[in-house]
Structure 1
Amino acid sequence: MILTYMAVIESTGLVRDRWPSALPVSLDLAEAVGKPPTNAANQPPAPRYVDVLMHGVRHLRFLVDTDATNRAALNDTWKGHLSALAPALAGMYDRDHA
């Protein structure tokens, strides 16, 4: 089991003013990288860092709809950004392995 934690932080001004190398994380990124590679039942999955990141972001989107405490912690900018995503907990590994 691998546990991954995400932290949402608030930044005044533009994020790239504080973190110049920051890149946008959006639905466009998820579509550009595609789904992770498949694996056989006797093989462990080999998620890429971007897969872990997108899973976490989609989980945050899920929490906007299902968890009042987390929803209250996210400002309108976050909620607007997350609204482009469909809430999801799973589905990255829904393709059959060839």
Structure 2
Amino acid sequence: MGTDEPAGGRFQSFAAFYPHYIHEHSNRTCRRIHVVGSALVLVALAAAVVTRNAWWLLAMPLIGYGFAWVGHFFFEKNRPATFRYPLWSLMGDWRMFFETVTGRRPF
């Protein structure tokens, strides 16, 4: 459990979870690796559609989680939120990605 998690041990909403998610991505290199990984997931999705090859779909989680976990284990030095909050972590990743590519969050 992270230091900013509620006393009960679990977040009750994504709105409450997202500030924790952002705090767990305070290292700039970790955030950058996440954004690059998410962009490559979109490239893999496009490749699956264009080539009609489902192997690209199987590559998507490997790319996304692979990049994210490298960012956490080697740069952020924390445990990815995916292990405790899988859905909210995925939602947080895409929100952080879109905030970054739209300029609302620093790259």
TM-score w.r.t. structure 2 length? 0.30
Instruction: Name whichever structure is richer in helix by fraction.
Output: 2
Higher Rg of the two aligned structures: 1
